Amino acid sequence: MSGFDSEQRLKVAPPNVCNGQEPTSKMTMPEVPYPPDAELRNRVVQVRRFGDPDGLEVADAPLPTAGRGEVRVRVLASGVEYTDVVIRRHLYPQTMMLQPPFVMGYDVVGEIDQLGEGVSGFQVGDRVADMTVVGSNAAYRTLRADQLVRVPPGVDPAEAAALILSWTTAYQLLHRTARIQQGQRVLVQGAAGAVGQALLVLGKRAGLELWGTARGAQAALVRALGATPIDYHREDFTRVLPGGFDIIFDGVAKTAIAARSRR
C-alpha cells in the first residue's frame, strides 16, 4: 500500500525554525514497490476551511493520470512550512484566488511512476523535484515534465525537499534581485532561519563578506556558516560596521525599519 496508510509511519525531517515562526518540516512518504494502478490509493491533506490547523483534513482523492507533457509521481517528501501556514490562513497573495477544498504542499520530491504522452528525457523510477505552491501533500500527483529538476541518487528525499523553497528564495535574492558582487559587505537579518541560513551559505560561496543577526544562542551556527554573528538582543546592528553595509536582506523588516529610523 502507499500514501497515508495507518499501519505505516511518516518520517519527518528535523525542524528548521524560520525567524521564530512555526517550524519547517518535511513529510516523507514510505518507500514501497509499485502495485498496479487498480490497487493504488491516493490520499491528500487539504484545506477544508481557512484559518487554524483544525481546518485541515486528510481525505481520499482520485488517483491522477499523467496527461500530455506530464509525469505522475509517487510523493516521497513534501513541504510543511511557514508559507503553508500563510496559505492556510488565506493570506498568501499567490493563492488568494483559491477556495476550499484544495490540497496543500508548496514543494515536492517524488519518484516517477507514470509517463504522459510526449514526455522524453525521463523514465519510470527517476526521482524529481518541483516547486508547486499547492497540491503536493498527497500520495500521488502529476507534474509538468518541463518544470522538473532531477534529484541525484542517494540524496534523502526529505533533505532535498527542505532545500526547494528556502534555497530558491535565497538564490533569487542574491543573484536576481541584489545582483551581488564578490567582496560586498552584506547583512542578513534572521540569519539562523531557513532562508537566512541559505543566504549565508550561498553568499559565502559567492565571495561576500557576511554578518548575520540572530539570538546569542545561535551565534555559533551563524559563525559556522561563514558570517560574523550579531546578537540582536545586545547589539545595535546599525552601529556594527562604520560606513554601513552594501546590501541588507531583511525578511521581517518591522523592528529593523524602526531601528534604522531611530538612527
Q: Report the number of secondary-structure helices (H) and strands (E) in the chain.
A: 5, 15
Q: Are 119 and 147 in contact (CB under 8 A)?
A: no
CB neighbour list of residue 257: distance below 8 Å, 6 or more residues apart: none
Angle at 149 between CA 199 and CA 118, to 5 degrees: 155
DSSP state of 21: S
**Amino acid 241: pLDDT:** 87
DSSP helix, strand, coil percent of the chain (3-state; round to 5): 25, 30, 45
Adjacent-strand bridge partners of 213: 230
* CB burial of residue 141 (10 Å; 0-12, 13-18, 19+): buried
Could you state, in order of their start, the residue ranges of all structural domains in the chain?
Answer: 11-162, 178-261
Grid cell locating 209: 563578506
**Amino acid 51: pLDDT:** 96
**Amino acid 13: pLDDT:** 38
Q: Are 185 and 230 in contact (CB under 8 A)?
A: no
What length is written for the chain? Answer: 263
**Amino acid 42: pLDDT:** 95
* End-to-end Cα, the chain, rounded Å: 61
Residue 259: count of CB within 10 angstroms of its CB: 13
Q: Which CATH number fits domain 11-162: 3.90.180.10, 3.90.79.10, 3.90.1310.10, 3.40.50.1370?
A: 3.90.180.10
**Amino acid 173: pLDDT:** 96
| Rounded mean pLDDT for each run of 10 residues along the chain, 263 residues in total | 33 38 50 63 96 96 96 95 93 95 96 97 97 96 97 94 93 96 96 94 97 95 96 90 92 57 43
Q: What are phi and psi of 234, to 5 degrees?
A: -120, -20
**Amino acid 175: pLDDT:** 97
Q: Which CATH number fits domain 178-261: 3.40.50.300, 3.40.50.720, 3.40.190.10, 3.40.225.10?
A: 3.40.50.720
Integer Cα distance of 103 and 101 in angstroms: 7
